[in-house]
Structure 1
């Protein structure tokens, strides 16, 4: 992770809470923000961050100053509730993090704010302490479920008014009503508050919530999430410009068009057997979708073959499905694993589609989500036509590529823990789209302010 503490061109800065395996941290740094602090609680994820260059603080020791450019980024490996960040006030451009999502996930206990694992209040505490220029939160699409709508709206209002804390003894519905009243008050009230507190606009935020499918942004995976971004009101950020910068760039329609006869997808993958190509094309629509001007979705095959500068990953032979690191092609974590099964409710990944959502899993790695069909047909009397496509577990490296982690990123722990870290992570490419958009609108706002002052 040495690259994560290189000096940024403008020395824009960031803080990452709930850092996990570092996906969002990498994304924010890729947008030229220099990290000042990481926080993570999970032991294996902390080991991953440390293996990539973060500097774990001694047990129980709290950070007291921001690192200078070129210094290692301190990692507070512990409960965020024990972390005080007042020392960073006024020094942070982006506060980023994905608060633990179990309270809202379709696969979790779904207790909303009653669940002690709901860490959104800790994000709001951090906002109050450091007053960042912008906040980026990523979370599961379960937040948008009808049963959670009222509470999710409350989360957005809390982020808009993070300094209006809940009164002792009040429940969230009472606090929400208070926040709604505050937000409905007009300019006259705002001017009164500014007279009382000239810094008041630094205590309010403008919030933008964007539902996303990561595949629409160049990630080779179907991953439905929500991205919440907030900008400090005193900066007068151009929200419409920000929204234009985070529009989808890729589409399923474009992928379908590229897979039809004469399409660019097959030119990119001439190694695909004829029977596979025919199987894929037989399930395409008879009429090509309209050209939407977007790029095709990336597929699992694209990820394995190498997107961008990535080199192709070699196939794992049957004799190496043995849990042993053979360093196939020089790649680490490209380790074959035996025992892959396909069964009802656990359908496998197909090479010529984006991968299914990489999940952390309550009890370890889920079944079908980590199994993939190969190009080879094998005899199977139970299968229709007496043949079926061969399958195996995806390797950790293949899964990391689906999450758009670089091949150089080191993951720590046993296989299940590595897959769990990836399942909890933010795809680097997706996070970078939003972080770069934040950087652009902050730059634009500063230019307008300088022109106004000159």
Structure 2
């Protein structure tokens, strides 16, 4: 079965579908850094999964509007060959983690997504977005409602808010999903079916939800591994790596001796000491995975409200694009890109490209590594949904249509 990924980012959703046995045709991503990661891992890299990629589409960043204007005829020729169109339009204007703006130009891209749906006519459409996508803005615009209405013309539309920690992702991350299925498939209540099959899927890969943050990243602690000079950035150090410890870590590591993206932030002594005290206070007060109190902020002269200390025994809070939003549960530092990637269920062979961070006005135009990880659909979630859809769509193909059943019934009655 064939899929196309629109708004692919660094490729988390694509990776999970490829792991589930789907055939990826191509992916659309306009950001240079995010596409560089996608290309290095899933297009031309040495990883175990790759897109087929058509000859008419250059292997370079492209926005969905440019794709439609430059390659409309080629897309039209694909009608009937694409089983699944996936992708979540950029969510920054909807996200409650920042300032939600109904007039954010990125919010309008989902109308282009709908044009792509009309052009390709896939059997199934899968969309993921932040839960804020379902909220009314001051103008009364509810994008989730508009999306469902538009898709309902040609599809049976199902939607759900899913806690992704139930999928074995070591992170409390609630996301909004839409599954629009061709009426000919006759798939009923897909999200309820998916939830029922989750335990058996997790057992098949040796996991049991929930997965704690310590179970996900304890093998990356500097106290256990030591440090060395960064392999990709002069003037930085990174965590050395020995070996995985837990079932989840072994699944993510899969024999990779030297994972990338282990560069540590350069905290001066004052900041390191401050982080150490905040971690100790948070443990003592039982305030883990939640924002530090006003009293703690006042004590250390902090303005930042989103700072939290990981609870080692629970899934992490939602990963954000700001690397200083989360502190390690025991080490006085922020997390590495690799640790965030583990909390998002990216395997260790998956390498991220581009800047580590960015700031100021560049945040609107660049998607550095921390942001790529934060914006991604966790591959483990995509893999689960991919396996479920393949099973459901295969069963639907074997099932005779309503018209065929009526014909068979008539033939049977005539025979008797």
TM-score by length of 2: 0.69
Q: Deviations over 1:114-154 (max 9, x none)?
A: 33211211210111010001011110011233546744212
Which residue pairs with 1:201 in the alignment? none
Which residue pairs with 2:211 in the alignment? 298
Which residue pairs with 1:438 in the alignment? 389
Matched, 1:246 2:195: yes
Aligned to 1:413, which of 328, 347, 354? 354
Q: Deviations over 1:224-263 (max 9, x none)?
A: 1111111122x2322235531235847xxxxxxxxxxxxx
Deviation at 1:430, TM superposition (A): 1.2
Contact 1:40/1:75 (8 A) holds in 2: no
State how far apart, in whole Å, the 2-side matches of 1:336 and 1:115 are.
33
Contact 1:38/1:74 (8 A) holds in 2: no
What secondary structure, in the 3-state scheme, does the structure 2 residue paired with 1:356 have? Answer: coil
Matched, 1:156 2:117: no
1:348-367 alignment to 2 at 5 Å?
348-360=309-321, 365-367=322-324
Contact 1:55/1:72 (8 A) holds in 2: no
| Number of residue-to-residue matches in the alignment | 319
Deviation at 1:73, TM superposition (A): 8.9
What secondary structure, in the 3-state scheme, does the structure 2 residue paired with 1:51 have? Answer: helix
Which residue pairs with 2:265 in the alignment? 337
Which residue pairs with 2:414 in the alignment? none
Which residue pairs with 2:12 in the alignment? 23
For structure 1, the 5+ residue unaligned runs are 1-11, 57-65, 162-203, 251-293, 306-311, 375-389
Q: Deviations over 1:379-404 (max 9, x none)?
A: xxxxxxxxxxx422212111111110
Q: Deviations over 1:353-377 (max 9, x none)?
A: 11121112xxxx24233x2121xxx
Q: Which has the higher contact order (CA 8 A, sep 6+)?
A: 2
Deviation at 1:16, TM superposition (A): 0.5
Q: Deviations over 1:307-339 (max 9, x none)?
A: xxxxx4353567659722464333322222232
Deviation at 1:206, TM superposition (A): 0.9
Contact 1:325/1:332 (8 A) holds in 2: no
Deviation at 1:109, TM superposition (A): 3.9
Which residue pairs with 1:130 in the alignment? 120
Contact 1:217/1:248 (8 A) holds in 2: no
Contact 2:185/2:397 (8 A) holds in 1: no
State how far apart, in whole Å, the 1-side matches of 2:141 and 2:195 are.
23
State how far apart, in whole Å, the 1-side matches of 2:63 and 2:378 are.
24
- Note the aligned Cα RMSD (angstroms): 2.9
State how far apart, in whole Å, the 2-side matches of 1:326 and 1:224 are.
30
What secondary structure, in the 3-state scheme, does the structure 2 residue paired with 1:126 have? Answer: helix
Contact 1:351/1:373 (8 A) holds in 2: yes
Matched, 1:236 2:185: yes
Contact 2:127/2:178 (8 A) holds in 1: yes
Deviation at 1:296, TM superposition (A): 3.9
State how far apart, in whole Å, the 2-side matches of 1:429 and 1:28 are.
9
Aligned to 1:373, which of 329, 350, 357? 329
Which residue pairs with 2:220 in the alignment? 313
Q: Deviations over 1:167-186 (max 9, x none)?
A: xxxxxxxxxxxxxxxxxxxx
What secondary structure, in the 3-state scheme, does the structure 1 residue paired with 2:214 have? Answer: helix
Aligned to 1:38, which of 27, 34, 52? 27
Which residue pairs with 2:308 in the alignment? 347
Contact 2:131/2:176 (8 A) holds in 1: yes
For structure 2, the 5+ residue unaligned runs are 46-51, 69-74, 200-206, 230-234, 243-257, 279-291, 298-304, 358-367, 409-416
Q: Deviations over 1:189-208 (max 9, x none)?
A: xxxxxxxxxxxxxxx01111
Deviation at 1:67, TM superposition (A): 4.3
Which residue pairs with 1:392 in the alignment? 333
TM-score by length of 1: 0.64
State how far apart, in whole Å, the 1-side matches of 2:239 and 2:56 are.
32
State how far apart, in whole Å, the 1-side matches of 2:119 and 2:136 are.
32
In structure 2, the CA distance between the partners of 1:335 and 1:443, relative to structure 1 (3 Å rule), is same
